[in-house]
Structure 1
Amino acid sequence: MKLLFLLCLFFPVSLQADVSWQTQSSHHLAQLLKSNPEHLLELNEAELIVFYRERKYKPLWLDATGRLNRAYDLLHVIIHAEDEGLEPSDYYLEEIKKFWDSKEPGESIYLDLLLTAALYRYSNHVYSGRFDPRDLDVDWHIQNRPLDVSNLLAEVAKNESITQVLKELAPQHSGYQLLKEQLQRFRDLKQHGGWQKFKPGPTLEPGAHHQQVVQLRQRLEMTGDLVECSLRDIDIFDHVLAEAVKRYQLRHGLKADGHVGGQTRRSLNITVETRIRQIRINMERWRWMPRQLGKRYLMVNMTGFELYIMTNGSAVLTMPVIIGKSYRSTPSFSGLISNMEYNPYWTIPLNLTVEDYIPRQINDPLFFARKSIKLYRGRGNNMREIDPDTVNWKQLDKEHFPYWLRQDPGPKNALGRVKFLFSNPYEIYLHGTPDKHLFDRLVRTFSAGCIRVKDPVQLSAYLLNDGSQQMEEEVLANIHLGSNQKVKLPIAVPIYLVYWTAWIDKDGGMNFRHDIYGRDTRLNNFFGSD
């Protein structure tokens, strides 16, 4: 009876204290949220204000007994934000530490708001990017959907542990996750001192004896290109080292000749800090990407000059491409390929007409005829062909040009034998090319912005079904008819034109590429020092 009396006495008091704490903390939190004394921008966001109002300003991260488990989960993630290529200091880490152990009621409630503000900022950064791409890269036009913050807050509020909730905010694409692993690897290399720069010296090649050969072995062993290093201290350049140099060159988009000349030496001298920043920049670009790319899609990586046909996250076909010149660079954007055209006509864009083709015609009056290019005036029923010899070209410019040029289908057509159409405001599409020899170049920036593909027949077969030999033969048969034919795809296929300067290949190799359009340079200053 005595025990029962004590229990009856204890629980009402405990409950009363808890209710009192709830009332006081909610009142205090409402006041702090309204006054926002430290002017935390996140606390002015409508989603946070509505969230707290709907839960009657009940704290999210603590109760009468102290901090909840979810608060520890969030703190752990913030401390380790560097794992995602982010900066822990961006998420109020020092302020949170300042109030973390405070017993003063007002400071404890303020800690709750600090944690919520940190959650808001971190979740948006890791989900859709630390920076708005529109502010840093005028050539990036791929959009990720905004994070549903209200849904996130609801998920956090109903879970004691939020480790998994926070983990799933980052892109789950293998491209991002593999970069994340490499970021840790390169930071470990930095922790151990990175690598030494190569001083100026002769070209190192098989058979050479030179003191830098020992340094070269050590360097390639660090980056995993040299796995058989029994001759670590020998200064003879043997065939095993030559093969390791080739692997390094392939990973960096260099001529894989096994010789360490000027270009390879400059690449080897890029610091580990620069490589870390390059990885972080490309992780940021992945955060700008949509979370769902599609079960089947095309991806063109401009700096690698390659097109990938992706199925269920894996590349089933890789194909060399040619991209825009530096002064006519190809932007990053996405679209849906819904139609193809065999033996296409090419309506030459106005800027190319005025800047490139008219000057050639003036210098060579037979140029249009040799290239099967015809001059027209009017459109539709009013379209009529004009004899170029009757036009006074010197009286025309881009603002006053009543004509247009079209190249007939055939072996001379700049689009090759197949054109792949997808809607976009840039007049960019994929197509073949008669200039096959350009695919032998390492750096392939030769187009006016469009993407030239090496094997449009094979790509057509894949877009039509599974890329079977029979389908390729059907495509070829249609092309050989010689007539202009428009083909609607059975299923529209997403395409993404991206700018990765760091990525992991199918064999697990860490690839780096030169910043051909200077787009990394624009982002560099925003990523601090590494």
Structure 2
Amino acid sequence: MILRPTAAVLALLLATAPAFAKPLVTPFKQAVAQAAAEDESIAAFYRARDFAPIWMGEGAEHRRAAFLWALDAAHDHGLPEGRYDAATIRAEFAAAATGSERGLLEVEMTRRFLRYAQDVSSGVLDPRQVDRGIVVDLPRRDWLEQITAFTEGDPYAFVQGLWPTSPAYTRLLREKLRLEEARAAGGWGDAVPGGGLEPGDQGEAVIALRNRLIRMGYLRRSAVAVYDAEMEAAVRAFQIDHGLSPDGQAGAATLAAVNVPLADRMGQILVGLERQRWMNKELEPRHILVNLAEQHAYVVDDGKVTFDTVVVVGADTPDRRTPEFSDTMTHMVINPTWNVPRSITVNEYLPVLRRGGARHLQVYGRNGPVNRALIDFSRYNASNFPFSLKQPPGPKNALGRVKFMFPNRYNIYLHDTPSRSLFARDLRTFSHGCVRVARPLELAYHLLAPQTADPVGDFSAVLNAGRERRVNLEQPIGVHLVYWSAWVTPTGRVNYRGDPYGRDARVLDALRAAGVELDAERS
């Protein structure tokens, strides 16, 4: 339903048109002015061109064809086709007979174009409305600049320029097509029964595993009914691609991943495409990607990974999940002091302090350190506790030997840890929200290498001094905390991970609510 402005608003719009146009107000122009008044950017665009059309009339065919061509490919990008509906647009152009009808359709076409341009270039959703932990800044573009640029250049080139150009996005598009072809060919076959299989086993479950691995592309076609060395190698490759310990045995966790339905993987791809649209911006030549879903961090230099490490991220509780955002790393702190966050102080340590524990922490009042022997901790609760806690530098400091700072409102940073055992887990969601790094010293050396001839020696000299010291990075580094449960490597290996915070499920639900359809839902 189109809302029409009041007569006063319409009169004002027409009054702002060039003087020479006033005697020539046609039903078409009147309808354009009336419909455009609903949005200031669109109204300003049409006022500047004296309400002349861009979608109909002489010379508009090329522009219209380019847009319809893009809409015909909307499904390929995982977009909500119903928002634009190319078939309806074609029918509306055929049906518009009067000047007023064509004027209303003209503005509606512009509105649809801008909606599509935003969806494909920066995302269908507002992620902050989907999950409060997704606080990315979307690369939204100015609508007036968008439609003006579209009318002034090659419309086909402009439309293609809206699509994310990152290799990660392109590779996901290819995987989406591959999954669609697999589904059309019958899918991945029956689920593998049983609780686990290992080399040497045979029987119906092994045959089901063999058939599913063949259809997934991990095993060449064969009639072998034994869990042989070739199947073991295929299982190991599958485990690597799914973040599992690559032991070559199809245990419970491996079979659970093998049995994930193709439609569920397609859902992950659709979410992955949307997440890439949220990141549709030029990243820094050197940046750090922390993939929360994978619990892995990467240093990327000029598009190539030059360093990587497993990490531990926030636990899956409302107050500990690590948020998704981007910021800039400016410095590192060697031999850091741990300033215990207020929430941890009152929720976790206050009960321990009442029992006389937590001796590794120093108690601070408003004027400095306080002798804990003089404090009756039983008098205080979470709301009236007047002290803060700190842990001085040392081998047992919760932040370890170094922390990497990209100051942000969420108080999230990367850091070392004396607790090393958790890095061996397949799922590493255990922290209070910050990111614990398995190879912190190597990361420090890598980040310092551009600014010193001896990064290891320089770092070690500060570390061995035992005192807290800030070391600035001469070249600040972008840090992007992302949540990618599906991606394709440059060599074509498709990787899938779980959804530890349930965020992908919420994003997929929101995409469906917006009109995005899985192939299974289209049939």
Q: What is the TM-score with the length of structure 2 in the denominator?
A: 0.88
**What does 1:135-174 correspond to in 2, within 5 Å?**
135-159=129-153, 161-174=154-167
- Among all aligned residue pairs of Structure 1 and Structure 2, give the percentage whose two residues are the same amino acid: 31
Alpha-carbon offset, residue 297 of structure 1 = 0.8
Residue 197 of structure 2, aligned match among 190, 194, 204: 204
Residue 526 of structure 1, aligned match among 481, 487, 510: 510
Structure 2 match to 1:397: 381
Structure 2 match to 1:121: 115
Secondary structure at the counterpart of residue 318 of structure 1: strand
Partner Cα distance (2:351, 2:147) in 1? 62
Partner Cα distance (1:116, 1:24) in 2? 26
Alpha-carbon offset, residue 497 of structure 1 = 0.8
Alpha-carbon offset, residue 293 of structure 1 = 1.7
Structure 1 match to 2:26: 27
Structure 1 match to 2:494: 510
Structure 2 match to 1:131: 125
Partner Cα distance (1:310, 1:511) in 2? 18
1:322 to 2:312 alignment: yes
Give the count of matched residue pairs.
Answer: 491
Deviations 1:483-515 (A, max 9, x none): 211111112111111111111234321111111
Alpha-carbon offset, residue 111 of structure 1 = 4.1
1:258 to 2:251 alignment: no
Cα distance, 1:308–1:375 mapped onto 2, change above 3 Å: same
Bigger drift between 100-109 and 419-428 goes to 100-109
Structure 1 match to 2:281: 291
Alpha-carbon offset, residue 154 of structure 1 = 1.9
Alpha-carbon offset, residue 72 of structure 1 = 0.9
Secondary structure at the counterpart of residue 526 of structure 1: helix
Residue 412 of structure 1, aligned match among 396, 419, 425: 396
Following TM superposition, the consecutive aligned residue runs of length 4 or more in structure 1 with deviations greater than 6 angstroms are 22-26
Cα distance, 1:179–1:91 mapped onto 2, change above 3 Å: same
**What does 1:44-193 correspond to in 2, within 5 Å?**
44-64=38-58, 67-102=60-95, 104-106=97-99, 107-159=101-153, 161-193=154-186
Partner Cα distance (1:23, 1:234) in 2? 82
Partner Cα distance (1:345, 1:143) in 2? 31
Contact kept? 1:461, 1:467, Cα under 8 Å: no
Secondary structure at the counterpart of residue 187 of structure 2: coil
Structure 1 match to 2:270: 280
Cα distance, 1:469–1:261 mapped onto 2, change above 3 Å: farther
Which letter maps to 2:200?
Answer: G
Deviations 1:421-466 (A, max 9, x none): 1211112111101112221111111111111111222212222234
Structure 2 match to 1:17: none
**RMSD value over aligned CA atoms?**
2.3
Alpha-carbon offset, residue 125 of structure 1 = 0.7
1:438 to 2:422 alignment: yes
**What does 1:418-433 correspond to in 2, within 5 Å?**
418-433=402-417
Alpha-carbon offset, residue 25 of structure 1 = 11
Structure 2 match to 1:337: 329
**What does 1:299-314 correspond to in 2, within 5 Å?**
299-314=289-304
1:484 to 2:476 alignment: no
Partner Cα distance (1:359, 1:247) in 2? 47
Contact kept? 1:354, 1:397, Cα under 8 Å: yes
Contact kept? 2:28, 2:102, Cα under 8 Å: no
Cα distance, 1:199–1:292 mapped onto 2, change above 3 Å: closer
Partner Cα distance (2:271, 2:263) in 1? 12
Residue 349 of structure 1, aligned match among 318, 341, 346: 341
Partner Cα distance (2:22, 2:93) in 1? 22
Cα distance, 1:108–1:188 mapped onto 2, change above 3 Å: farther
**What does 1:238-249 correspond to in 2, within 5 Å?**
238-249=228-239
Alpha-carbon offset, residue 518 of structure 1 = 0.9
Cα distance, 1:121–1:461 mapped onto 2, change above 3 Å: same
Secondary structure at the counterpart of residue 491 of structure 1: strand
Contact kept? 2:192, 2:209, Cα under 8 Å: no
**What does 1:456-475 correspond to in 2, within 5 Å?**
456-466=440-450, 470-475=454-459
Contact kept? 1:421, 1:430, Cα under 8 Å: yes
Which letter maps to 2:422?
Answer: L
Which letter maps to 1:446?
Answer: F
Alpha-carbon offset, residue 351 of structure 1 = 1.0
Alpha-carbon offset, residue 97 of structure 1 = 2.2
Secondary structure at the counterpart of residue 364 of structure 2: strand
Secondary structure at the counterpart of residue 358 of structure 2: helix
Partner Cα distance (1:117, 1:512) in 2? 37
Alpha-carbon offset, residue 195 of structure 1 = 1.8
| Unaligned segments of structure 2, at least 5 residues | 1-20, 519-523
Contact kept? 1:176, 1:283, Cα under 8 Å: yes
Secondary structure at the counterpart of residue 162 of structure 2: coil
| Unaligned segments of structure 1, at least 5 residues | 1-21, 37-41
Cα distance, 1:527–1:43 mapped onto 2, change above 3 Å: farther
Alpha-carbon offset, residue 119 of structure 1 = 0.8
Secondary structure at the counterpart of residue 329 of structure 2: strand
Structure 2 match to 1:215: 208
Partner Cα distance (1:315, 1:105) in 2? 59
1:453 to 2:437 alignment: yes
Contact kept? 2:299, 2:308, Cα under 8 Å: yes
Alpha-carbon offset, residue 103 of structure 1 = 7.3
Partner Cα distance (1:404, 1:110) in 2? 64
Alpha-carbon offset, residue 123 of structure 1 = 0.2
Contact kept? 1:336, 1:493, Cα under 8 Å: yes
Contact kept? 2:190, 2:208, Cα under 8 Å: no
Cα distance, 1:409–1:506 mapped onto 2, change above 3 Å: farther
Contact kept? 1:334, 1:494, Cα under 8 Å: yes
Partner Cα distance (2:457, 2:202) in 1? 54
Structure 2 match to 1:8: none
Alpha-carbon offset, residue 130 of structure 1 = 0.6
Which letter maps to 2:123?
Answer: G
Contact kept? 1:26, 1:58, Cα under 8 Å: no
Q: What is the TM-score with the length of structure 1 in the denominator?
A: 0.87
Deviations 1:191-240 (A, max 9, x none): 222122325325221111112323322322332222xx25x222111111
Structure 2 match to 1:377: 365
Deviations 1:87-130 (A, max 9, x none): 22111434202124347354555443333222111001111211
Contact kept? 1:459, 1:467, Cα under 8 Å: no
Structure 1 match to 2:10: none
Alpha-carbon offset, residue 329 of structure 1 = 0.8
Alpha-carbon offset, residue 246 of structure 1 = 1.3
Q: Which has the larger radius of gyration?
A: 1
Bigger drift between 74-83 and 162-171 goes to 162-171
Alpha-carbon offset, residue 243 of structure 1 = 1.1
Secondary structure at the counterpart of residue 309 of structure 1: strand
Structure 2 match to 1:13: none
Contact kept? 1:92, 1:118, Cα under 8 Å: no
Which letter maps to 2:244?
Answer: L
